[in-house]
Amino acid sequence: MNKDHAITLYDLILASGITLSPFVWRVKLAILHKGFKLNAVPTSYMQIKTILDGSHTRLPVIVDGETVVSDSLAIADYLDRAYPDRPSLFRSPGERNFALFLDGWMFQNVVRHWFSCYCLDQVHLSCPEDVEYIRESRERLFLQGRPMEEVVADREQRLMAVRPNLEPLRMLLKDTRWFAGDEPDHIDYLMLSHFLWCASLATFPPLARDDPLFDWINRGFDLFGGIGRDDRLHPLS
Amino acid sequence: MNKDHAITLYDLILASGITLSPFVWRVKLAILHKGFKLNAVPTSYMQIKTILDGSHTRLPVIVDGETVVSDSLAIADYLDRAYPDRPSLFRSPGERNFALFLDGWMFQNVVRHWFSCYCLDQVHLSCPEDVEYIRESRERLFLQGRPMEEVVADREQRLMAVRPNLEPLRMLLKDTRWFAGDEPDHIDYLMLSHFLWCASLATFPPLARDDPLFDWINRGFDLFGGIGRDDRLHPLS
């Protein structure tokens, strides 16, 4: 494989073309961390069934030569297994467990609250062919059938109330530059993916301007030529 | 240093002689993991001021040849730094961050609740010279001045209510043998130390008999010749 080796990633996007899915964001970061070129194929929810052999129902999916891999964690494992001589995504099994634990913690304590604040933004920002599906499926699966307009009504107060939940991350980042130590790896990408997802939707910012988390967020958004510095992303404060 | 090299550990004990402090438990496990002999010096709270040069106010403290180190995390870092050729306690900076995050999570979601259920056991089980200090300081610092008898009154119900808080640990341990992967390291010792602390006090068990966590707890308590298989420890279910 030469250094111009590109990996194709089916990217789940909003109407603007920016990536939505946190699971795709982390795979983008992973591919770039391994030093590959990224060949992103913009895909809407409705287009997923049209890609490759038509068997896929979720993204991300990558194609690397003859190899097709789906599921963001399986993709990270594949990249480390197939390319052990390139920078590791997980430097030990303990790091992989950290990433899984943090990811679950982040969904439980932060992301599910943010979702209930930004679900209507997703409807407004989605690709036209996705709008009806997004509204119907999200209200049914995640919002107990409540209309999104009702769910987001008091979001400014609820976003304020979520801020203290991030305190364990602020505490940890007082004494370490990245979650992975001196240099980022997939632990950081996985956490950054949640903030990138949030920035893709947040028409009202979730964080205070002086949140100490921005030291890490800003360094993360600057990675790989500024992956989080896209005009189509919304400010987080 | 030969293989019979022993490290002295000032051990914080209950009247039975069993270790109380989770910070001491994790250092015991760390010293054994590094392959050293453990020279534990039983110490009550009231005796702390009498050890070494009299400057210490907390345990654990270790003495390794000419070197004195206090604070459990500083001790783990010292052991890895001083003995890099012996098995690592933290296999990467990311693992060290995992340990710190999990430890904070465990205190916040589990240990502080357990403490409010077992504080009176600590008074009853403490070394005679510690009893008055333990009751007074704990009620003042951690229990808002409430008498312990009142705090523990409804503990059977509250212990039941804590069990679901452990679910993220059960989820993670479904797919990994240890928190550190295939073999335990300080991430596991740190978590085991909370269960060993609990077992030193729990005159009423905190967990259900069929808790899937026991697969990991039992393997952990069996380490180093059965460090958690001491008759002075209480059953956790």
Q: Which residues of A touch B98 (CB under 8 A)?
A: 94-95, 97-98, 101
Whether B172 and A95 lie within 8 Å, measured CB to CB: no
The identity of residue A4, as a single letter, is D
- 3-class DSSP assignment, residue B26: helix
Please report which confidence band the pLDDT of residue A3 belongs to, taking 50, 70 and 90 as the band edges.
Answer: low
**A19 CA: distance to closest CA in chain B (Å):** 27
Beta bridge partners of B41: B10
**Arithmetic mean of pLDDT, A149-153:** 95
Q: Are A77 and A62 spatial neighbours (Cβ–Cβ below 8 Å)?
A: no
CA distance A86 to A184: 14
Q: Which residues of A touch B108 (CB under 8 A)?
A: 168
| Positive/negative CA dihedral, A91, A95, A100, A102 | negative
B171 CB within 8 Å of a chain A CB: yes
Q: Which token pair is B65?
A: 């040849």
Q: Which of A104, A175, A182 sits opposite B171 (nearest CB)?
A: A104
B100 CB within 8 Å of a chain A CB: yes
Q: Which token pair is B69?
A: 């180190």
pLDDT tens for chain B, 237 residues long, are 566 799 999 999 999 999 999 999 999 999 999 999 999 999 999 999 999 999 999 999 999 999 999 999 999 999 999 999 999 999 999 999 999 999 999 999 999 999 999 999 999 999 999 999 999 999 999 999 999 999 999 999 999 999 999 999 999 999 999 999 999 999 999 999 999 999 999 999 999 999 999 999 999 999 999 999 999 999 999
**B203 CA: distance to closest CA in chain A (Å):** 31
What ipTM score was computed for the predicted complex, to two decimals?
0.93
Q: Which residues of A touch B92 (CB under 8 A)?
A: 91-92, 94-95, 180-181
Answer whether residue A36 shows pLDDT above 60: yes
**A173 CA: distance to closest CA in chain B (Å):** 9
The identity of residue A208, as a single letter, is A
B97 CB within 8 Å of a chain A CB: yes
Q: pLDDT for A171-199, tens place per residue?
A: 999 999 999 999 999 999 999 999 999 99
CA distance A83 to A79: 6
Percent of the residues in chain A that have a pLDDT greater than 90, as a whole number: 98
**A228 CA: distance to closest CA in chain B (Å):** 23
Distance of CA A217 to the CA centre of its chain: 13
Q: Are A180 and A136 spatial neighbours (Cβ–Cβ below 8 Å)?
A: no
CA distance A124 to A129: 12
Measured in Å, how far apart are chain A's first and last C-alpha atoms?
A: 42
B80 CB within 8 Å of a chain A CB: no
What's the pTM?
0.94
Closest CA to B88 of B77, B72, B74: B77
- Residue in chain A closest to B169 (alpha carbons) equals A101
Whether A94 and B187 lie within 8 Å, measured CB to CB: yes
State the pLDDT at residue B3: 62
Strands (E), chain B: 6-12, 37-43, 61-64, 67-70
**A177 CA: distance to closest CA in chain B (Å):** 10
Distance of CA A158 to the CA centre of its chain: 22
Whether A97 and B171 lie within 8 Å, measured CB to CB: no
CA distance A209 to A206: 10
Whether A105 and B168 lie within 8 Å, measured CB to CB: yes
Q: Which token pair is B175?
A: 């797919």
Q: Which residues of A touch B172 (CB under 8 A)?
A: 97, 100-101, 104
Q: Which of B93, B168, B185 sits opposite A176 (nearest CB)?
A: B93
Angle between helices B22-33 and B186-201 (to 10 degrees): 140
A138 CB within 8 Å of a chain B CB: no
State the pLDDT at residue A150: 95
B172 CB within 8 Å of a chain A CB: yes
Pairing mode, strands A37-43 and A6-12: parallel
Percent of the residues in chain A that have a pLDDT greater than 70, as a whole number: 99
